[in-house]
Amino acid sequence: MNYLVLLRHGQSEWNLANKFTGFKDVNLTDKGREEAVNAGKLLKGAGISFDQVFSSTQIRANDTAELALNEAGQGELFESMIRDPDLRERDYGDLTGLDKDETREKYGEDQVHIWRRSYTTPPPGGECLQDVVENRVRPYYDANIKPMVDEGKNILIAAHGNSLRAMLIILGVETPETINEAEMETGVPVVFELENGEIKSRKMLKD
């Protein structure tokens, strides 16, 4: 058995401010740092030792990985962590930095819901989830992460809500039709147990 763990970054300053974040680099809040530390405690309690860690190039994901790894007693893996822009959050384009509630008031609830949750309709100047899956995360996963998973290594991916939702589609545990029900909670590890490259179980680690 080996493990693939998906970890969304802890709460960020713009999560707290209810803003569309996307490619914008923002820091974790105090709560976000606590969530990252708690993720490390949970991973340590689960007895999972990682062989390689992947993350995006964004600071909120990097800091989450560092805090979690230190708490799990695997801080040395942060030095060899592989960061790649393909694992970044979805680009929200013209919505970046806007307050979500104010955007709903301006454009209407239905339009904003489409921009946020449609698999194929991007926000103005941004990416839809299909873009994230097919243009970035799937090619990167197939070329760089899947070979390690297939070798039986334990892998941690510290990234973002939408790049990790893309991973759920790529892994075949969700579809474009079901993905909207699959929330990735901040700072909550999602653990896949695999055998010979086949997923045997999926669970969230919580207190």
Q: Which residues pair with 19 in a beta bridge?
A: 99
- Which residue in 35, 66, 71, 89 is the catalytic one? 89
Listed residue (42, 40, 44, 41) closest to 69, CA to CA: 40
**CB of 21 within 8 A of CB of 27?**
no
For residue 23, give both structure tokens.
């490619």
Specify the pairing of strand 2-8 against strand 189-195. Answer: antiparallel
Give the whole-angstrom CA distance, residue 157 versus residue 90. 16
**CB of 193 within 8 A of CB of 160?**
no
Specify the pairing of strand 155-159 against strand 82-83. Answer: unpaired
- Which residue in 9, 35, 66, 71 is the catalytic one? 9
Q: Cα dist. 94→42, 145, 176, 180, 203 in Å? A: 37, 31, 24, 22, 35
174 is catalytic: no
9 is catalytic: yes
Catalytic residue positions, numbered: 9, 89
